Structure 1
Amino acid sequence: MISVGIDVSKEKSTVCILKPYGEIVSRLFEVSHVEKELSELAIMLQRLGDEVCVVLEATGIYHLPVLSYLKERGFFVAVINPFEMKKYRCQGLRRVKTDKQDAITISNYGIDHWYRLKDYEAEESVYAELKLLGRQYRHYMRLRVESVLGLTHLLDYTMPGIKSLLEGWNETNGKDKLSDFVEEYWHYNTITEQTLEQFMESYLIWTKKKGYHQSQDKAAKIYALAKESIPTIPSSNSSTKMLVQEAVRVLREVDNTLMTILTQMQLLAKSLPEYPVVRAMGGVGNVLAPKLIAEIGDVRRFHSGKALIAHAGIDAPPYQSGQFTGTERKISKRGSSSLRKIGYEVMRSLKTHKAPEDAAVYKFILKK
């Protein structure tokens, strides 16, 4: 048996080929992630004439060119979790960190764990696409949080306290009442320069145009707040209106991107056989269903529900020694943090919208 350890970095990799007992088959060498050099590596491995196992450490997206190229040519490729490899690497007394040493370590890992290595199985294209969309959705959601903070910071100068009176972003339809409102009324002076009756009429016309609930009481509260508050930047400044409206524009662009990605995720998720089952779960709606499927992937790859729980990192690993058995254990958190976040959102939705008492999840919550 021959273990081929590949330490992957951006655009190149270091390769070490070992036999049992540390016998080096070939001197360490580097391979660029281009067709020519990967082809030469594949031909070299095919000429070894023995059972060959290629071992890689998962490195985000950098290892994907090598992985996909070797899998297309029928090689056994094992992708190892970075945390597991880190534990294996730290067994020695000295902590040497070079690309060559890492390649040797990965090769040795392949020899030591030969009989428990698993050949990498690529996800179906739909699940892979959903996963990519889910990651981009989280990326733009972080941008949205920063954009909201930037807009809120400006409103503390021009319209302090207005955020508490206007509901926030609706993830289902992409509407944001706060940004729509401050785009029209960007400073309290634009409100107080009108009479109460004029602002109420203007506000009701605006809500009808934007599709929001028409409420004279809300208009009166906004007008009273505008009268009582003290803006710290005057509306006469030439840059005030521009800054507020640009912050709204950026926020709206991010919202449009989020809705575009979510629509595509929903389209892909509905084509999967498990979508009706996921959609029927309590607390899971049109928004959470595609996000949940994107994080889990193909659920058929898990042998049991406990395996899925371990994947999410919400399992409590057993701890037993002699006569002692630990019962109050914390969750491992060695799994997908994004999946745990979506699970939290599902449970929050269940608590917000009370489920029927005969529902299994609702009974479990009461029991807990």
Structure 2
Amino acid sequence: MRAVFGIDVSKASSEVAIVINGEKVHGYSITNDVIGFSRLLEDLKTVHNPEIVFEATGVYSRRLQAFLEDNDYAYTRLNPLAAKKQLDSLRVRKTDKIDAEKLAQSQFVLNRKPTYIQEEVYQELRDLSRFYQNLTEDIVRTKNRLHKVLQVTFPEIETLLSAPTGEQYWNLVMSFPSKDYVLALNASELENSVRLSTSKRISDKRVSNLTENLQDLAKQSYCAVKKTSPIIEEVRYDAEELLRLSNRRQAVLDDMVALAQPLPEYDILLSIPGIAETTATSTIGELGDIRRFQSANQINAFIGIDLRHYESGNFLAKEHITKRGNPYARKILFKCIHNMASASHTNPCHIAEFYAKRKRQSQATSTKPHTIAAMHRLIRTIHYLITHNKQYDYHSTQSQ
């Protein structure tokens, strides 16, 4: 007897269809909580080696997945696009109940393999990676807000340091949101504020230069609002928020590094020129256990850089990447290629050389096609090194 449980997962509830030897014997709705999962567990225990099929629905299916893993049940988690393609031909009408039944019935035809269950550390790294990306997005938005309000109060302060970012800059903005706060202090008081603006050691000469520059900028600035304006408080709030977000993001990165360091692929990724700890931990978090991919092409499809090919008669469309995979991993690896190209002057890498060669040969003004091609080569390299447990060696790439 072969029993298949098809489960269509929604936000708060799920539809369950039980199909035995191709015939539906039962169907019901459960809530996605302890009560609902307890009822599902009772039915699972009544059959030997049940097959469980459900569609990944982002955060909504995470609880069902955790329940099945906690109770040692294998399951098949379908990519939403794959599920749509597999079930479209079978659907006459679409409802949650019908979807659950079709998921179960199609299992008898397709015989899908159980989903590879990764170690818990990979899921934790992925959650931390998403947290890190969200904090980065918050920092970018808050930087834009701070820049906007500073144009009203004290835009010149953005030129005080080499870049308008970082702990020292944000502390200075909090202390001096407009020129009035600079001009109200004497040189000694200003030097003390500059010295306290950073937790790093700073020389007296550097403090003196920053103080003089700050005074000069304040003298030439024209503030569009009064000292009592709410915009002054908004400047301080944005600077304080940036400092808080930056510290929180660093704490998340430290947690990611602590989790990733014991994994063998961490040192392997760091051995590739242009990949530092942030990129290495984020790559592991988004790609997970790379050993579960049988080829580099599967990783290409997973992150959405596989090519879309369309040909009909004499017409051949220009190929484009599908962009159907993990956008976070695609973004990380995209930036990684440019980091490798920048680092290639001191740390040679065959991937950076390939990128530069394709860029010289192409007539296209955009660097995107060259970057995508280099990403594919990087993925092939990562997959080979990790599956063979080898570190990157530039000289061995030249002998091949």
What TM-score does the superposition give when structure 2 sets the normalisation length?
A: 0.76
Q: CA RMSD in A?
A: 3.3
User: What residue in structure 2 maps to residue 25 of structure 1?
Assistant: 25
Say if 2:125 and 2:259, in contact at 8 Å, map to a contact too.
yes
- Measured in 2, the distance between the counterparts of 1:69 and 1:19 equals 22
- Measured in 1, the distance between the counterparts of 2:83 and 2:159 equals 49
Read off the aligned partner of 1:24 and give its amino acid letter.
K
**Pairwise CA distance, 1:216:** 6.7
Q: Deviations over 1:330-366 (max 9, x none)?
A: 1121211111111122123223334358521222112
- Measured in 2, the distance between the counterparts of 1:355 and 1:264 equals 31
User: What residue in structure 1 maps to residue 16 of structure 2?
Assistant: 15
Read off the aligned partner of 1:42 and give its amino acid letter.
L
Query: 1:180 aligned to 2:171?
Result: yes
Match of 1:232 among 217, 224, 229: 224
Match of 1:251 among 242, 255, 262: 242
Query: 1:149 aligned to 2:144?
Result: yes
- Measured in 1, the distance between the counterparts of 2:64 and 2:191 equals 65
**Pairwise CA distance, 1:281:** 1.1
- Measured in 2, the distance between the counterparts of 1:2 and 1:158 equals 69
Read off the aligned partner of 2:41 and give its amino acid letter.
A
Say if 1:168 and 1:176, in contact at 8 Å, map to a contact too.
no
**Pairwise CA distance, 1:130:** 0.8
Number of aligned residue pairs: give it.
Answer: 354
Q: Among the aligned pairs, what percent are the same residue?
A: 27
User: What residue in structure 2 maps to residue 172 of structure 1?
Assistant: none
Say if 2:5 and 2:53, in contact at 8 Å, map to a contact too.
yes
Say if 1:356 and 1:362, in contact at 8 Å, map to a contact too.
no
User: What residue in structure 2 maps to residue 43 of structure 1?
Assistant: 42
Read off the aligned partner of 1:230 and give its amino acid letter.
Y
Read off the aligned partner of 1:263 and give its amino acid letter.
D
Residues 202 and 253 from structure 1, CA distance in 2 versus in 1: closer, same or farther, beyond 3 angstroms?
A: closer
Say if 2:195 and 2:202, in contact at 8 Å, map to a contact too.
no
Secondary structure of the 1:314 match is coil
Match of 1:82 among 75, 80, 83: 80
Residues 140-149 or 77-86, more deviating: 140-149
**Pairwise CA distance, 1:267:** 1.0
Residues 211 and 82 from structure 1, CA distance in 2 versus in 1: closer, same or farther, beyond 3 angstroms?
A: farther
User: What residue in structure 2 maps to residue 340 of structure 1?
Assistant: 330
Residues 97 and 139 from structure 1, CA distance in 2 versus in 1: closer, same or farther, beyond 3 angstroms?
A: farther
- Measured in 2, the distance between the counterparts of 1:243 and 1:208 equals 22
Secondary structure of the 1:162 match is helix
- Measured in 1, the distance between the counterparts of 2:202 and 2:308 equals 49
User: What residue in structure 2 maps to residue 105 of structure 1?
Assistant: 102
Read off the aligned partner of 1:31 and give its amino acid letter.
I
- Measured in 1, the distance between the counterparts of 2:109 and 2:258 equals 45
Read off the aligned partner of 2:253 and give its amino acid letter.
L
Secondary structure of the 1:29 match is strand
Q: Deviations over 1:262-300 (max 9, x none)?
A: 111111111111111111111111222211211121111
Say if 1:58 and 1:81, in contact at 8 Å, map to a contact too.
yes
Which runs of no fewer than 5 residues in structure 2 stay unpaired?
Answer: 359-400
Residues 317-326 or 153-162, more deviating: 317-326
Say if 2:152 and 2:223, in contact at 8 Å, map to a contact too.
yes
Residues 46 and 320 from structure 1, CA distance in 2 versus in 1: closer, same or farther, beyond 3 angstroms?
A: farther
Secondary structure of the 2:322 match is coil
- Measured in 2, the distance between the counterparts of 1:104 and 1:205 equals 68
User: What residue in structure 1 maps to residue 260 of structure 2?
Assistant: 269
Which runs of no fewer than 5 residues in structure 1 stay unpaired?
Answer: 170-174
Query: 1:291 aligned to 2:282?
Result: yes
User: What residue in structure 1 maps to residue 269 of structure 2?
Assistant: 278
Listed as ranges, the matches of 1:341-356 within 5 Å are 341-356=331-346
**Pairwise CA distance, 1:312:** 2.0
Match of 1:366 among 346, 349, 356: 356
Listed as ranges, the matches of 1:128-139 within 5 Å are 128-139=123-134
- Measured in 1, the distance between the counterparts of 2:52 and 2:58 equals 18
Say if 1:357 and 1:363, in contact at 8 Å, map to a contact too.
no
Secondary structure of the 2:351 match is helix
- Measured in 2, the distance between the counterparts of 1:39 and 1:209 equals 53
Residues 119 and 190 from structure 1, CA distance in 2 versus in 1: closer, same or farther, beyond 3 angstroms?
A: same
Say if 1:312 and 1:337, in contact at 8 Å, map to a contact too.
yes
What TM-score does the superposition give when structure 1 sets the normalisation length?
A: 0.82
Say if 2:7 and 2:52, in contact at 8 Å, map to a contact too.
yes
